[in-house]
Chains A and B, each alone.
Chain A
Amino acid sequence: MFLHYKFVLILRALWFLAQIALFGLIVNRMVKEEVQVVTGGNYFYFYAAGIVVTLLYSMTVFIGYDIYEEADHGVTEYLLSLPVSRRELVLGRAIGGGLRSFLYVAPLMFVVLLLIGITDPFRILIALTALFLFAFGVAGMSITLAMSIKSHDRFDILLGVLNAFIVRLSTTMYPVAFMPPQYAAMAQFNPLTFAADIFRWGAGLEAVLLTSPFVSVFGIVVFFSVFTFLGIVFYEKRLEGGGWR
């Protein structure tokens, strides 16, 4: 299982490298002056900050696969027999899963922060705290989905599709100024937008952000709360009926 994770970790780091050192740099040479302006003077930094948030998202979503693996190994029964309430169990899972991926991605976040240049440590602290909560929320969401979908394959496909939309309908890769209005309207409710915006704000990028930092933090807190709650409800419903088999 840990081996499994190491493997994922190394591949993800390579993916990150390709995104930054290849895609990011090349696209940066293509973009015109007007793009550089709305992204705070440097599209490359804007992009690097976005891609690190994407990475945090995709690493955290991984916890859903653990749920299936546990069910396959019968570990679900063990977890349910432990002397803790269902709420503590789900919260523990979401926090544990969020913390794990946050720690994995943290070194890359620092690389990006160093790249951009650290200006205001206080802002960075706020941004990192918000990203921390964001990771809990994503873990809660992944657990909820894993609980509500019986088939491992379907979960896999759904995550793929969800990934395509949630990443592309956010400000992780491009500034809102270039989005068609309908897309921008949807992007402003996307947790990935909140997370990418707050990270850029924390890093001191003068980019044109879709939301204010307060809205971002608020959005992340709402996202986190809703999915933790849903996670608990689904755990209760599905598992106590023995429906995980």
Chain B
Amino acid sequence: MAIIRTFDLTKKFGEFTAVDHLNLSIEEGEIFGLLGPNGAGKTTTLLMLTTVIKPTEGTAYVGEYDITKEPDKARRLVGMAFQEPKLMWVMTPWDVLNWHAKVCGLSSSERKQRVKWALTELGLWEDRHKSVHTFSGGMRKRVEVAKILIQRPKIAIVDEPTTQIDIVGKHRIWNMIRALRDEGSTIILATNELYEADILSDRVAIMHRGKLLVCDSPKKLKDSIVGGDLIELVLEKEAAENTVEELKKIEKVVDVLAIKPNHLRIYLNHAEEVLPQITELFMKARLPIRSIRMSEPSLDDVFAHYTGLTIEEAEKQ
């Protein structure tokens, strides 16, 4: 059953449309990924769902509540760990988390126990009475994520929860997010990290420039990319236009994307059979190959399929 549905959800800042007629349906109990480059409109979408900002057009239902009509009720179902840690006037992680838990209505015994648990699990217990102002970005981020792990809201929103956190820390947080889901929360995860979206999400919505491109399970999205295989080629020189055209004519090659003039990504079937043909083509064109790599499509390829850009390129724009 859908716990969140958005109907043409739109947010404009002046003339600029940050979120553009978004239609999503998020199932109860799933981990729902919102993947897109910086500026895609993920955070703006989440802020509307938490009733922090109002939509310019359209609406969303959180549980049974329309966010534009019953924001006070909708808000009670949701908790959010922000992209930029929000830690001001209370100074130590211990105070920040206790205050948060208190406002969220946890009893004092529950509060003590959960705050201790979260600080310990996230490796912050030793530093619990230090000022958050002395903390690194990664440590602040962990305090921010801890809020949601303690609150255990019906709908838990995490906005880029592992940026600036080392790989061990990332895995720990991913496991804690999974555990939160197993205890009954629905999770919305906004991220620009392909791997994070891929391994954590039951379903992923890919956004670009405020619009929804596609939404499905990571596996189905990747399978939907024509050609089950992928070859990445880096050349010593720039590939000429006609070489790319010839490449496309090879049977079983489905598509060719030039990430850079000398860096090609080839989508195809039965890569191992076609590879000799491809190398031969470049030899004939007198284009030495610097490196060659075979892999399977990732969510980046899904993004590229719809936009003609990799997520990294889209972020540069």
In the docked arrangement, what's the CA distance between A69 and B75, Å? 24
Does B214 have its Cβ within 8 Å of any Cβ on chain A?
no
Which B residue's beta carbon lies closest to that of A240?
B54
Q: What chain A residues lie within 8 Å of B87 (beta carbons)? A: 75
The main secondary structure of chain A at its interface with chain B is helix
Is the Cβ of B89 less than 8 Å from the Cβ of A83? no
Does B51 have its Cβ within 8 Å of any Cβ on chain A?
yes
A36-53 contacts to B, CB under 8 A, are none
Is the Cβ of A1 less than 8 Å from the Cβ of B82? no
Is the Cβ of B82 less than 8 Å from the Cβ of A77? yes
Is the Cβ of A83 less than 8 Å from the Cβ of B51? no
Q: What chain A residues lie within 8 Å of B103 (beta carbons)? A: 82-84
Please, what's the 1-or-0 string for A54-79, where 1 marks a CB less than 8 Å from any CB in chain B? 00000000000010011001110110
Does A86 have its Cβ within 8 Å of any Cβ on chain B?
yes
Is the Cβ of B104 less than 8 Å from the Cβ of A83? yes
Given A240-B53, A241-B53, A241-B54, A81 and B88 contact (CB-CB distance below 8 Å): no
Interface residues on A, range: 20 to 34
A-B contact count (CB 8 A): 68
Min CB distance A233 to B, Å, is: 15
Q: What chain A residues lie within 8 Å of B88 (beta carbons)? A: 1, 69-70, 73, 75
In the docked arrangement, what's the CA distance between A240 and B51, Å? 7
In the docked arrangement, what's the CA distance between A32 and B79, Å? 65
Does A151 have its Cβ within 8 Å of any Cβ on chain B?
no
Is the Cβ of B52 less than 8 Å from the Cβ of A81? yes
Q: What chain B residues lie within 8 Å of A242 (beta carbons)? A: 13, 47, 52-54
Q: What chain A residues lie within 8 Å of B270 (beta carbons)? A: none
Q: What chain B residues lie within 8 Å of A83 (beta carbons)? A: 75-79, 103-105, 153
Q: What chain A residues lie within 8 Å of B105 (beta carbons)? A: 83
Is the Cβ of A81 less than 8 Å from the Cβ of B75? yes
Which A residue's beta carbon lies closest to that of B47?
A77
Does B72 have its Cβ within 8 Å of any Cβ on chain A?
yes
Does A91 have its Cβ within 8 Å of any Cβ on chain B?
no
Does B237 have its Cβ within 8 Å of any Cβ on chain A?
no
A80-123 contacts to B, CB under 8 A, are 80-86
How many of B's residues come within 8 Å of A, CB to CB? Answer: 27
Is the Cβ of A81 less than 8 Å from the Cβ of B84? no
Which B residue's beta carbon lies closest to that of A4?
B89
Does A7 have its Cβ within 8 Å of any Cβ on chain B?
no
Does A2 have its Cβ within 8 Å of any Cβ on chain B?
yes
Does B185 have its Cβ within 8 Å of any Cβ on chain A?
no
Min CB distance B79 to A, Å, is: 7
Is the Cβ of A81 less than 8 Å from the Cβ of B89? no
Is the Cβ of B80 less than 8 Å from the Cβ of A81? yes
Does B39 have its Cβ within 8 Å of any Cβ on chain A?
no
A144-172 contacts to B, CB under 8 A, are none
Is the Cβ of B52 less than 8 Å from the Cβ of A80? yes
Is the Cβ of B72 less than 8 Å from the Cβ of A86? yes
In the docked arrangement, what's the CA distance between A80 and B52, Å? 5
Choice from B13, B50, B54, B91 contacting A81 with Cβ under 8 Å: B50
Please, what's the 1-or-0 string for B56-94, where 1 marks a CB less than 8 Å from any CB in chain A? 000000000000000110011111101010111101000
Please, what's the 1-or-0 string for B138-161, where 1 marks a CB less than 8 Å from any CB in chain A? 000000000000000100000000
Choice from A75, A80, A85, A241 contacting B89 with Cβ under 8 Å: A75
Min CB distance A95 to B, Å, is: 14
A15-29 contacts to B, CB under 8 A, are none
In the docked arrangement, what's the CA distance between A24 and B91, Å? 39
Q: What chain A residues lie within 8 Å of B80 (beta carbons)? A: 81
Min CB distance B43 to A, Å, is: 10
In the docked arrangement, what's the CA distance between A84 and B82, Å? 17
Min CB distance A51 to B, Å, is: 29
Which B residue's beta carbon lies closest to that of A2?
B91
Is the Cβ of B52 less than 8 Å from the Cβ of A74? no
Is the Cβ of A240 less than 8 Å from the Cβ of B89? no
Q: What chain B residues lie within 8 Å of A69 (beta carbons)? A: 88-89
Min CB distance B49 to A, Å, is: 10
Is the Cβ of B84 less than 8 Å from the Cβ of A240? no
Is the Cβ of B82 less than 8 Å from the Cβ of A78? yes
Choice from A2, A66, A74 contacting B84 with Cβ under 8 Å: A74
Min CB distance B195 to A, Å, is: 27
Given A86-B72, A240-B71, A77 and B89 contact (CB-CB distance below 8 Å): no
In the docked arrangement, what's the CA distance between A241 and B52, Å? 8
A-B contacts, 20 of them at CB < 8 A, read A1-B89, A73-B86, A74-B82, A75-B88, A77-B52, A78-B82, A78-B86, A80-B52, A81-B50, A82-B100, A83-B75, A83-B103, A83-B104, A86-B72, A240-B53, A240-B54, A241-B53, A242-B13, A242-B47, A242-B53
- B→A interface (CB under 8 Å): 13, 47, 50-54, 71-72, 75-80, 82, 84, 86-89, 91, 100, 103-105, 153
If A69-B89, A242-B13, A242-B52 are given as contacts, then 17 extra A-B residue pairs at C-beta distance below 8 Å, sorted by A number, are: A1-B91, A74-B86, A75-B86, A75-B87, A75-B88, A75-B89, A77-B82, A78-B82, A78-B86, A80-B52, A81-B47, A81-B79, A82-B103, A83-B76, A83-B104, A241-B53, A242-B47
Which 5 A-B pairs rank lowest in CB-CB distance, beginning with the nearest? A78-B86, A242-B53, A85-B72, A81-B50, A80-B52
